[in-house]
Amino acid sequence: MVVNSISGNTFLHWRRSMMLKGGRKVDFDWLLDIAAGVSWRKLQNIILNPDKCFSLEIPIEEIEVIWESHLKDNTPLQYLISKCPWRDFELEVSAHALIPRQETEFLIDIALKKVDNINAGRWADLGTGSGPIAISLAKSLPNWKGHAVDISKGALQLAKRNLEILVPQSNVKFFLGDWWEPLEKLWGSFDLVLSNPPYIPSDLIEDLEPVVKNHEPLIALDGGEDGMNASRKIILGALNGLAKGGWLILEHHYDQSEKITSFMKNIGMEEVSFEKDLSGIKRYAICRRK
């Protein structure tokens, strides 16, 4: 809803004054776009026509409060505005769950290609967080049965709310627990399992940016000594959990591809391969149960 009208000149002057307070311009412009409806295109229009008036979706005073909170203790803007755009939708986010990352978007494209010949199957999203993977699968595979698991109650509640709003007619159930465990009754029936597990080696957590390490849940980041504790558990579980011919697709840290794909091969998985992210980094490991 439009609540505020402002001249381009006043707005641009205010934007410059906000930048002098600190922070990254790219983050401030992201905030203007997502919270106040000033897209990059709209911003260029304002710069070209500074004498014209235009509308903001929230008052500048509110944007100022959000920006100052962000500068004060590095709270991620997504948590401050409770929103994060991801693929073709916008999620509610909170400090209960990781802020969905851009590289995870590609996991969905890889998965959809693998199962484009199956009209109705069963998928699971292990470690659903705020639910981005589950919601994408529910949207793209409407005839499938979906299962979203997380060990964090807060994350699971958030994912449920997001799914109810974004895909109200979906066939997705939520499970609280440790990776494959809460799905035990359905082991052997999953055609597709996706996971973006915590995969950062414990001793690297301290080196993360404050905006990440001081605010995002440790349980969503810390993958243990070599970063692969969760990945190994998920891959081993897939030996029983997947249906014959079912796919497992995992996101991992930038330097784990060889170790994870070797582990998949060593335990007897088939059609083991990897995919690179948009920066050319081997980021996704893929395998299939015999």
Ligand X SMILES: C[S@@+](CC[C@H](N)C(=O)[O-])C[C@H]1O[C@@H](n2cnc3c(N)ncnc32)[C@H](O)[C@@H]1O
Q: Give residues in contact with ligand X (CB under 6 A).
A: 97-98, 100, 104, 127-129, 132-133, 149-152, 155, 178-179, 196-198, 219-220, 230
Nearest-approach distance from CB 218 to ligand X, in angstroms: 9
Print burial letters for 119-133: b (CB count within 10 Å at least 16), e (below 16): eebbbbbbbbbbbbb
Choice between 191 and 216, CB closer to ligand X: 216
Nearest-approach distance from CB 274 to ligand X, in angstroms: 18
Print burial letters for 211-233: b (CB count within 10 Å at least 16), e (below 16): bebebbbebbbbbbeebbbbbbb
Nearest-approach distance from CB 109 to ligand X, in angstroms: 14
Nearest-approach distance from CB 222 to ligand X, in angstroms: 9
**Are the beta carbons of 287 and 155 closer than 8 angstroms?**
no
Choice between 150 and 277, CB closer to ligand X: 150
d(CA 150, CA 157): 10
Choice between 181 and 258, CB closer to ligand X: 181
Residues 6+ apart with CB under 8 A from 167: 135, 138, 139
Between 257-266 and 229-241, two packed helices, what is the crossing angle to 10 degrees? 30
Choice between 22 and 177, CB closer to ligand X: 177
Choice between 8 and 197, CB closer to ligand X: 197
- How open is the CA angle 128-275-92, to the nearest 5 degrees? 25
Nearest-approach distance from CB 84 to ligand X, in angstroms: 9
**Are the beta carbons of 192 and 111 closer than 8 angstroms?**
yes
